């Protein structure tokens, strides 16, 4: 026992300031209030985010990363591929990744397989 501390039958008395192994009803209530406040704040953040996304969509704006390959480079890539050029050289010419080009060309290949 530290000097100046109180004890009853060898059990330290903390005067309600610190309870190492026990929670009081007040402790539980305080924790529940904090949890409810955090849950309410999270729900408010979600609502504001959804409102912002809806407002942006109403203006015709959508989030996300812009497409790496739009219609013009894709048409060039398809024309070059039809001439027999490799995907690697097409991707190098268009300055895009090979896997990105394969992904962009994939819908055409899937359409060609289903129409057979």
Q: Where are the domains of the chain?
A: 20-63, 71-111
- List the chain pLDDT tens, one digit each, 116 residues: 455 556 656 666 555 555 666 778 888 899 999 999 999 999 999 999 999 999 999 999 888 888 888 889 899 999 999 999 999 999 999 999 999 999 998 876 565 555 44
Write out the H or E segment, with its range, that includes residue 87. Answer: helix 87-94
Q: Where are the beta strands (DSSP E) in the chain?
A: 7-8, 11-12
Residue 75 corresponds to which tokens in the numbers above?
């048409």
Q: Is residue 114 exposed (0-12), middle (13-18) or buried (19+ Cβ within 10 Å)?
A: exposed
Tell me which DSSP letter residue 4 carries: T
């Amino acid at each position: 026992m530290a000097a100046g501390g109180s004890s009853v039958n060898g059990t330290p008395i903390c005067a309600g300031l610190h309870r190492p192994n026990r929670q009081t009803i007040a402790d539980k209530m305080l924790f529940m209030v904090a949890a409810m406040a955090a849950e309410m704040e999270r729900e408010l953040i979600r609502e504001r985010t959804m409102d912002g996304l809806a407002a942006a969509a109403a203006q015709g704006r959508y989030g996300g990363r812009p497409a790496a390959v739009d219609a013009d480079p894709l048409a060039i890539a398809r024309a070059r591929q039809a001439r027999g050029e490799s995907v690697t050289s097409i991707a190098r010419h268009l300055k895009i990744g090979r896997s990105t080009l394969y992904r962009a060309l994939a819908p055409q290949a899937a359409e060609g397989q289903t129409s057979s």
